[in-house]
Amino acid sequence: MASPGHVVGRALPRVDGDAKVRGRARYPQDRPFPPDGLHAVTVRAPVAAARLLAVDVAAALRARGVVRVLGAADVHGTNRFGLLEPDQPVLVEDRIRAASDVVALVVATSERAARAGARRVRLALEPVTLLTDPERACDPDAPVVHPDRSTVTDHPNLVAEARLRRGAVARAFARAAAVVEGVYATSWVEHAFLAPEAGSAVPEPDGTLTLHVATQWPEADLRQAALALGEPRDRLRLVQAAIGGAFGGREDVSLQILLLLAARATGRPVRMVWDRAESIRGHGKRHPFRIRHRLAAGRDGRLLAAEIDILADAGGYASTSRAVVANAVEQACGPYAIPAVDVRGRAVFTHNPVTGAFRGFGVNQVCFAMEQQMNKLAVALGLSAAALRQRNFVRTGARLASGSRVVTAEGLPRTLVAATKRARARPLPRARDGWVHGRGLASALKNVGYGFGLDDHATARVRMTRDGAVAVAIGAAEVGQGITTVLTQIAAETLAVAPARVRIAWEDSSSAPEAGSTSASRQTLVAGNAVRGACERLRRMLATRGPRAAWPADGIAASCTWHVPPTQPLGHPRPTRHAHTYGWSAVVADVAVEVATGRVRVRRVVVAVDAGRVINPALFRGQVEGGVVMGQGYALLERCAVRDGMPVGLRLDACNLPTAVDAVPAIEVVAIESPEPCGPFGARGIGEIAMIPIVPAIIAAIHAACGAWVDAIPAVPQRVRAALATASRSNDRSR
């Protein structure tokens, strides 16, 4: 165990906690807005795909209070945005491809007037053939979602393909003692962060524009906004306050460009607040995956080969699908060393809802499939689920199936031992009143940081003033995970000052240096190292300075930019690693299944997570517990209904989120600390790894309880009952 620091390792109360519990934290919708400011409301098409022939705004313009109605012609820069491939129109010109497309923006003197105006906009649409089945997307005669797409791929509907091939796969399958095959399916899921999108854009006296919004990635928003507005990036400023949750759903642009456009067009401050229905409609969902999976092993349980085919529905626009699929392919084989693999992943366009980043970034889906296959394999070979994994875990310095040479895997087997040991301490109850009980196990890995050769860095500037106060500037978005508190502790520890003397300034793009996206579990590692580095530099400078009274008036400052060490993309001829850092976890879940109805109750979950070094035990526990319940929802409850490309349940109720009564009541969290060699104080990030193995552990527990394998999630009661029926039919046949 690492030596305790005076701040690092302590459960410091979160620095933004007091403001939040007093209702003083301001989210974008809480920001005071001048009475003469304007309000914007979007007009979206009532269908997922169509040719837009005309937009009639005459009636809207006559409505009381309506000032402007903006359309594609009002986009003076490039009318395209997108994190990886700019293919999404800010305002539709002639083609609607997804339910989230915005056709017009009504700007009025009040929100009510803007809504009333929006209801008066008339659209002339021509139907087009809908493509809603991703399996059909690459057929030669499939409707083409983006006929004018500039990126060339094997099929116009193919967003991206990622491929991994090592070793002699066919031969390995031929000699295998056991082969397990399965087809797995997952659904669209909604982030359902509690604060719907909101914001305002304000023209400043010097001609610049300030955007007040909640986002995971300020510089990506500004980059895309500058392109769309046709203005230099340094004329735009983004200021954040409190962010009401994200989970990946605030990574893509939502209302940022629309607000800036409206402010520019009117010369006045413009505000927009989305209601829940618009929030659900307006941002991307988790990718549904269909995974065909074959796994081969020797009699001793050593994995010989994996053949995996992944199909992801990207929806109408590219968003981050290329990266999600690459991530999924790279980690499809789990934390195991498998000598022969053939993994293919494709993301395809359809007219379904756009899919994008969501906690786990493609790894949840492939982990579900891989861990389910491992659990089936264990049954087939007569091995315990734990033993099968221990036999195949990758070791430090060895290669994952993807070819990544793992810097440290020391914590991986420790997570499994810790989770299973804790779980064993409590026996399962007996079957009673129609409920049967079971226990399931799963392991997982997750990359920390972007990987794939992408530039991954953060910059921090720190200044100590004569009074001993420490100001750290770094633009790492605090979405609720607690990064500002973690950075406070890192700074305080490094400088040997009290945490109360440290202030993290992250909110203002004009003064907080870029830290990259709050995603990929990366901020503790990357921003943490930048802050640590800047504070280390400052500490060395201070050692050579005299007493504070003699310091310059504005104190002493230092900065540091920390880069994640190099990684290589898939397909690189001689890759060392595709991610520099991987996190590990193991989960044991206890469930009860009501056989007559198919209802599943999760009674207890034990989660062991290798955090490298726990900076703040309370925040660590909070992330893990939250990840467990989010995983529970993903496994059993949540899915977005989509009909003809349109999301049907535009209410929070339809998202079927776990309530306090549904949520697993007993969560035991075990922290494994196997230091991350390049991490600040040995820490790595855990935001996603906490959630990933929950699904397969719960599904395995269902099988242990009642003998039914559910291969499609969510495992809603009718799926459990159907799986039970299948299981009993095959039991009857085998008698």
Partner 1 sequence: MTAAATSFAITVDVNGREHALRVEARDTLAALLRDHLGLTGTKIGCGVGECGACTVLLDGVPVVACLVLAVEADGRRVTTIEDERDPRLEALRQAFVAEAALQCGFCTPGMILAARALPEGADDEAVRAGLAGNICRCTGYTAIVRAVARASTTRGRGRRRG
Partner 2 sequence: MADLPPLRYARPRTLRAALTALARPGACVYAGGTDLLVALGERRRWARFVRELVDVKGIDEARGVVRRDGGLRIGALVTAAELGVDAAVLRHAPALAEAARLTSAPALRGRGTVGGNLVTPHPAGDVTTALVALDAMVEVASARGPRLVHVVDFLAGQDAAWPTQRLVLGVRIAPRPASAFEKVAGRAAFGRALVAAAVVAHGRAVRVALGGLGARPFAAPRTAEALQRGDGLATALAAECRPGGDGDAAHRLALAAVVVERARARACA
Q: Residue 682 is which amino acid?
A: G
Nearer to partner 1, 169 or 272 (CB): 272
Q: Please state, as a whole number, how many other Cβ atoms lie within 10 Å of the Cβ of residue 194.
A: 11
The site partner of 115 among partner 1, partner 2, none (C-beta below 5 to 8 Å per kind) is partner 2
Q: Does residue 74 bind partner 2 (CB under 8 A)? A: no
Instruction: Look up tokens 């719907």; give the residue.
Output: 196
Helical ranges in 4-140 per DSSP H: 17-21, 58-62, 111-118
Q: Does residue 585 bind partner 1 (CB under 8 A)? A: no
Q: What are the residues whose beta carbons fall under 8 Å from the beta carbon of 33, sequence distance 6 or more?
A: 200, 269, 271
Residue 675: what are its φ and ψ, rounded to 5°?
-55, 140
Q: Does residue 661 bind partner 2 (CB under 8 A)? A: yes
Nearer to partner 1, 199 or 244 (CB): 244
Nearer to partner 1, 242 or 311 (CB): 242
Please report how the helices 321-330 and 363-381 are oriented relative to each other, as an axis angle in degrees rounded to 10: 20
Task: Output DSSP code: residue 725.
Answer: H
Structure tokens at 367: 């982990």
Q: Does residue 653 bind partner 2 (CB under 8 A)? A: yes
The site partner of 82 among partner 1, partner 2, none (C-beta below 5 to 8 Å per kind) is none
The site partner of 22 among partner 2, partner 1, none (C-beta below 5 to 8 Å per kind) is partner 1
Q: What are the residues whose beta carbons fall under 8 Å from the beta carbon of 378, sequence distance 6 or more?
A: 301, 384, 385, 387, 388
Subset of 26-45 contacting partner 1 (CB under 8 A): 26-27, 29-30, 32
Q: Please state, as a whole number, how many other Cβ atoms lie within 10 Å of the Cβ of residue 39.
A: 25
Alpha carbon distance 57, 81 (integer Å): 24
Give the contact letters, 100-129, x = binds to partner 2 (CB under 8 A), - = no. Answer: -----------xx--x--------------
Stretch that binds partner 2, among 224-232, 480-488, 503-511, 715-723 (CB under 8 A): 715-723
Alpha carbon distance 660, 641 (integer Å): 23
Q: Does residue 643 bind partner 2 (CB under 8 A)? A: no
Q: What are the residues whose beta carbons fall under 8 Å from the beta carbon of 305, sequence distance 6 or more?
A: 167, 169, 172, 173, 176, 294, 295, 296, 338, 339, 340, 341, 342
Residue 419: what are its φ and ψ, rounded to 5°?
-65, -45
Q: Does residue 14 bind partner 1 (CB under 8 A)? A: yes
The CB-of-651 to partner 1 minimum distance in angstroms stands at: 6
Are 131 and 137 contacting, i.e. CB atoms less than 8 angstroms apart? yes
Q: Does residue 500 bind partner 1 (CB under 8 A)? A: no
The site partner of 545 among partner 1, partner 2, none (C-beta below 5 to 8 Å per kind) is none
Alpha carbon distance 521, 448 (integer Å): 5
Nearer to partner 2, 141 or 653 (CB): 653
Give the contact letters, 229-248, x = binds to partner 1 (CB under 8 A), - = no. Answer: -------------xxxxxx-
Q: Does residue 425 bind partner 2 (CB under 8 A)? A: no
The CB-of-32 to partner 1 minimum distance in angstroms stands at: 7
Please report how the helices 363-381 and 385-392 are oriented relative to each other, as an axis angle in degrees rounded to 10: 110
CB-count exposure of residue 734 (10 Å: 0-12, 13-18, 19+) = exposed
Stretch that binds partner 2, among 389-397, 525-533, 583-591, 596-604 (CB under 8 A): 596-604
Subset of 181-240 contacting partner 2 (CB under 8 A): none
Nearer to partner 1, 32 or 232 (CB): 32
The site partner of 646 among partner 1, partner 2, none (C-beta below 5 to 8 Å per kind) is none
Interacting residue with partner 1 among 628, 636, 692, 698 (CB under 8 A): 628
Are 363 and 323 contacting, i.e. CB atoms less than 8 angstroms apart? no
Are 350 and 145 contacting, i.e. CB atoms less than 8 angstroms apart? yes
Stretch that binds partner 2, among 51-59, 142-150, 408-416, 597-605 (CB under 8 A): 597-605
Alpha carbon distance 505, 508 (integer Å): 8
The site partner of 244 among partner 2, partner 1, none (C-beta below 5 to 8 Å per kind) is partner 1
The CB-of-395 to partner 2 minimum distance in angstroms stands at: 42
Distances 259 to 39, 253, 273, 500, 509 between C-alpha atoms, Å: 9, 11, 11, 36, 17
Are 182 and 240 contacting, i.e. CB atoms less than 8 angstroms apart? no
Number of residues that bind partner 1 (CB under 8 A): 57
191 by DSSP, 3-state: which?
A: coil
Interacting residue with partner 2 among 16, 74, 536, 662 (CB under 8 A): 662
Number of residues that bind partner 2 (CB under 8 A): 20
Which residues are near partner 2 by CB under 8 A? 111-112, 115, 275, 596-599, 637, 641, 653, 656-659, 661-662, 717-718, 721
Interface positions with partner 1 (CB under 8 A): 11, 13-14, 16-18, 20-27, 29-30, 32, 191-196, 242-247, 275-276, 479-482, 618-619, 621-623, 625-630, 651-653, 657, 659-661, 663-665, 667
